[in-house]
Amino acid sequence: AQTVTQSQPEMSVQEAETVTLSCTYDTSESNYYLFWYKQPPSRQMILVIRQEAYKQQNATENRFSVNFQKAAKSFSLKISDSQLGDTAMYFCAFMKPIISGTYKYIFGTGTRLKVLA
């Protein structure tokens, strides 16, 4: 069974500094997708960044980048130049197409990030 593990329940970072959130997953599949979602205190969850497993190049979206290590089954999120608005819960998620017409989507337990002024 696929699992997603986020080992850091809470983290804090000073404004303008860089922080890395870790995520590991377990799967025997080779074709899948990985995501980081952000859930601010208002609770509406939004996609931060995604990574296709078949791509070796790490995804980047402005201040957000990932370190995808397929062999180690690791998918960490780096936030550069942290801003107060980055304060939120961050969820790592795994999606795997199972058979034609269906797929499995699993979320980790989340990391609560607080950016300090």
Partner 1 sequence: EAGVVQSPRYKIIEKKQPVAFWCNPISGHNTLYWYLQNLGQGPELLIRYENEEAVDDSQLPKDRFSAERLKGVDSTLKIQPAELGDSAVYLCASSLGLSSSYNEQFFGPGTRLTVL
C-alpha to C-alpha distance for 74 and 62, rounded to whole angstroms = 21
Distance CA 25, CA 37 (A): 15
Separation CA 19–CA 111 (nearest Å)? 12
Question: Are the C-beta atoms of residues 117 and 16 closer than 8 Å to each other?
Answer: no
CB of 16 vs partner 1, minimal distance in Å: 28
Is 11 an interacting residue with respect to partner 1 (CB under 8 A)? Answer: no
CA–CA dist 25, 73 (Å, integer): 6
Minimum CB distance to partner 1 smaller for 35 or for 68:
35
With contact defined as beta carbons under 8 Å apart, do 23 and 76 qualify? Answer: yes
Q: Quick one: 14 or 114, whose CB is closer to partner 1?
A: 114
In the list 44, 56, 57, 62, the residue contacting partner 1 (rule: CB under 8 A) is 44
With binding defined as CB under 8 A, does residue 102 bind partner 1? yes
What residues from 59 to 88 belong to the interface with partner 1 (CB under 8 A)?
none
46 lines the binding site for partner 1 (CB under 8 A): yes
End-to-end alpha-carbon separation of the chain, Å? 41
**Judged by CB under 8 A, which of 30, 43, 56, 72 binds partner 1?**
43
Binding site for partner 1 (CB under 8 A): 4, 9, 33, 35, 37, 42-47, 50, 52, 91, 93, 95, 101-103, 105, 107-110
